């Protein structure tokens, strides 16, 4: 049986001195929304060969070379979630500022141009409310922490619990080590210091749960700032290069409740932030193979985004015991650390064709292998006294990256779009955008990995999301040098939510013998269905 089906796999690598972020947290930052100008969205994003739209600056910058005039545009609108319930820290409908940018076009010959462009667009909008509830039939979040402690060894996916000098229960690598195990998470700390040891007798036990309920509000964005130069040679070959910078602002707040089988329950309030920046480089080309035909072929490649990030959390556990002999507790823990993440390379191929001045057709295919996401450790650096700068070094987190290769996979994106002009100054648009699933089948979060991604974990839940289907409509109106464009996008995605990972028939020590334990979470079907209304106003010089 592959290790991705097993909750606690034996570690294949020695623990690093410091590690990085967890796979499911990294996946939140991967990929992009379909966003930009209303024309680009209205055509499903299938403009990487057609070009002449500022939004291609971040996909195929050769498209900037098709501008014949300088241009500026600004876009914004509404993002609306069709499911879920309004939460104290999030709303289902939100205003969004999505794009601002322009192209400066210069003629370098009779048929040649050199164009310069800048564009900001919201590459990812995190605004989303997740609700999930189901039965548990005796399993529980605290039982997961209990079993990890019973395993008593980091190499088995657990930890050895002992008191530190402050009288707190701490999970160590094993019974002889003084080092804290990387499998000892923040949620484990809260359970082992508030629930698992009986406050009166010290006896180790766990509470079974009958059901759970989770509400989470995600907010924030990834902002893309792209600078490009593009050349047009004899109106046949277009080349482009973009240098992009990214600004990450993510915040998630959740309330997870479990009702115990007998009485009482637990409430875990968790707030996590991820902030930081990144940069990438994109190169592209568009070619008209036949001089007499407007048919165009485009190709492009995007480098990894090299992220430098900080994650922080504050987690609070409120425990109401099932017996009056044990008092209720309210405890919290918070932490922060820096890490790096490199996304995979992205490759794209596109086709575009126009018929007269009334019809445009576009198609694009992209591929990005998310199993190659590289979690990295900030493990040192050096100070350059000559330039007066500090340079931070990093190494790959082998443990977490091995898990990422089992959980995530390559993703294909298909974009199709059409634009029809019934009259010269009115355009009608329609598009379809499909993104295949990022997550492999039968995968789950693994809190038995020796990594900072595990040690700093403050939540045990995860969601395996399926493919995304996006349907778009748009309309544009040109009046003198102004253009006004409106687009509507409907995005549908299903997912499977689990409050914690499954343990099935695992043997743990119990005195001189062993016992078999299972802790199986009941999954819940969830949806991420959203609508977007987007308005763009542009001006051509």
| In contact, 419 and 428? CB cutoff 8 Å | yes
Contacts of 405 (CB under 8 A, 6+ apart): 371, 372
Burial readout 205-244 (b: 16 or more C-beta within 10 A, e: otherwise) = ebbbbbbbbbbbbbbbbbbbbbebbbbbeebeebbbbbeb
Alpha-carbon distances of 347 from 143, 184, 282, 298, rounded to whole Å: 44, 39, 10, 11
Q: Which of 411, 434, 364 is nearest to 55 (CA)?
A: 364
Buried b (16+ CB within 10 A) or exposed e, 16-33: bebbbbbbbbbbbbbbbb
pLDDT of residue 20: 57
d(CA 266, CA 321): 8
Domain 3-540 listed as CATH 2.40.160.60: yes
- Nearest Cα neighbor of 537 from 102, 152, 226, 128 is 102
C-alpha angle 313/318/324, rounded to 5°?
A: 160
What's the pLDDT at 529?
Answer: 96
Question: With contact defined as beta carbons under 8 Å apart, do 485 and 52 qualify?
Answer: no
Closest to 224 (Cα-Cα) out of 309, 340, 348, 124 = 124
Overall pTM > 0.85: yes
What 3-state DSSP class applies to 449? coil
Name the nearest CA neighbour of 83 among 524, 540, 512. Answer: 524
Within a 10 A sphere around the Cβ of 314, how many other Cβ atoms?
17
- Other beta carbons less than 10 A from residue 482's beta carbon: 11
pLDDT score, position 326: 65
How many CB atoms lie under 10 A from the CB of residue 176? 7
- 403's torsion region: left (phi>0), alpha (psi -120 to 50) or beta? alpha
Instruction: Give SS3 for 6.
Output: coil
H/E segment holding residue 29: helix 23-29
One pLDDT digit (tens) per residue for the chain, 541 residues: 333 333 333 332 233 334 457 999 999 999 999 999 999 999 999 999 999 999 999 999 999 999 989 999 999 999 999 887 777 667 899 999 999 999 999 876 666 789 999 999 999 999 999 999 999 999 999 999 999 999 999 999 999 999 999 999 999 999 999 999 999 999 999 999 999 998 777 789 899 999 999 999 999 999 999 999 999 888 899 999 999 999 999 999 999 999 999 889 999 999 999 999 999 999 999 999 998 999 999 999 999 999 999 999 999 999 988 776 567 788 999 998 888 999 999 999 999 999 999 999 999 999 999 999 998 877 776 666 766 776 777 888 899 999 999 999 999 999 999 999 999 999 999 999 999 999 999 999 999 999 988 988 899 999 999 999 999 999 999 999 999 999 999 999 999 999 999 998 888 877 778 888 899 999 999 999 999 999 999 999 9
Q: Please name which of 278, 280, 299 lies closest in space to residue 347, comparing C-alpha atoms.
A: 299
Q: What is the pLDDT of residue 430?
A: 98
Pairwise CA distance, residues 326 & 17, whole Å: 39
**What is the rounded CA–CA span in Å between residue 484 and residue 537?**
5
Q: How many residues does the chain have?
A: 541
For 293-402, list the strands marked E by DSSP.
296-302, 306-320, 329-342, 346-355, 359-369, 374-384, 389-396
- Alpha-carbon span 194 to 192, nearest angstrom: 6
pLDDT of residue 325: 59
Cα-Cα-Cα-Cα torsion 393, 396, 399, 401, nearest 10 degrees, comes to 140
């Amino acid at each position: 049986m592959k290790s991705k089906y097993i909750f606690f796999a034996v570690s294949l690598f020695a623990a690093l001195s410091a590690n990085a972020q967890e796979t499911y947290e990294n996946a939140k930052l991967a990929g992009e929304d379909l966003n930009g100008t209303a024309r680009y969205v209205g055509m499903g994003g299938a403009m990487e060969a057609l070009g002449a739209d500022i939004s291609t600056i971040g996909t195929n910058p050769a498209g900037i070379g098709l501008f014949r005039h300088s241009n500026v545009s600004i876009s914004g609108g509404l993002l609306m979630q069709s499911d879920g319930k309004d939460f104290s820290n999030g709303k289902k409908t939100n205003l969004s500022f999505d794009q601002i940018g322009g192209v400066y076009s210069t003629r370098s010959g009779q048929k040649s141009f050199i164009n310069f462009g800048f564009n900001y667009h919201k590459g990812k909008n995190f605004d989303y409310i997740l609700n999930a509830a189901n039965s548990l039939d005796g399993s529980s979040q605290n039982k997961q922490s209990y079993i990890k402690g019973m395993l008593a060894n980091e190499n088995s996916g657990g930890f050895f619990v002992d008191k530190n000098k402050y009288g707190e229960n701490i999970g160590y690598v094993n019974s002889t080590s003084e080092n804290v195990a990387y499998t000892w998470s923040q949620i484990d700390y809260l359970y082992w210091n508030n629930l698992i040891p009986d406050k009166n007798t010290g006896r180790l036990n766990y509470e079974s749960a009958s059901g759970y309920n989770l509400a989470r509000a995600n907010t924030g964005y990834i902002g893309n700032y792209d600078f490009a130069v593009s050349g047009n040679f004899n109106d046949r070959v277009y080349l482009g290069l973009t240098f992009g910078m990214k600004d990450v602002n993510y915040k998630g707040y959740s309330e997870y409740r479990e009702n115990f089988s007998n009485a009482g329950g637990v409430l875990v309030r968790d707030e996590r932030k991820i902030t930081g920046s990144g940069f990438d480089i994109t190169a592209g080309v568009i070619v008209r193979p036949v001089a007499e035909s407007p048919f165009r072929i485009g190709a492009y490649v995007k480098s990894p985004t090299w992220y430098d990030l900080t994650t922080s959390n504050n987690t609070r556990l409120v425990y109401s015991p099932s017996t009056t002999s044990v008092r209720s507790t309210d405890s919290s823990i918070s932490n922060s650390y820096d890490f790096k993440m490199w996304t995979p390379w992205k490759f794209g191929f596109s086709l575009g064709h126009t018929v007269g001045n009334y019809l445009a057709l576009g198609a694009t295919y992209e591929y990005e292998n998310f199993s190659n996401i590289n979690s990295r450790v900030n493990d040192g650096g050096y100070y350059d006294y000559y330039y007066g700068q500090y340079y931070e070094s990093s190494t790959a987190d082998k443990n977490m990256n091995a898990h990422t290769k089992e959980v995530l996979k390559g993703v294909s994106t298909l974009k199709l779009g059409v634009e029809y002009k019934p009259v010269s100054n009115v355009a009608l648009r329609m598009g379809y955008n499909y993104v295949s699933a990022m997550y492999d089948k039968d995968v789950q979060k693994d809190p038995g990995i020796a990594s900072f991604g595990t040690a700093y974990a403050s939540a045990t839940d995860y969601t395996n999301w399926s493919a995304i289907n996006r349907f778009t409509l748009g309309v544009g109106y040109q009046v003198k040098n102004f253009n006004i464009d409106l687009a509507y996008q409907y995005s549908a995605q299903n997912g499977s939510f689990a409050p914690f990972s499954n343990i099935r028939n695992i043997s743990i020590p119990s005195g001189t013998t062993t016992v078999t334990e299972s802790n199986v979470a009941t999954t819940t079907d969830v949806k991420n269905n959203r609508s977007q209304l987007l308005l763009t106003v542009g001006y051509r010089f």
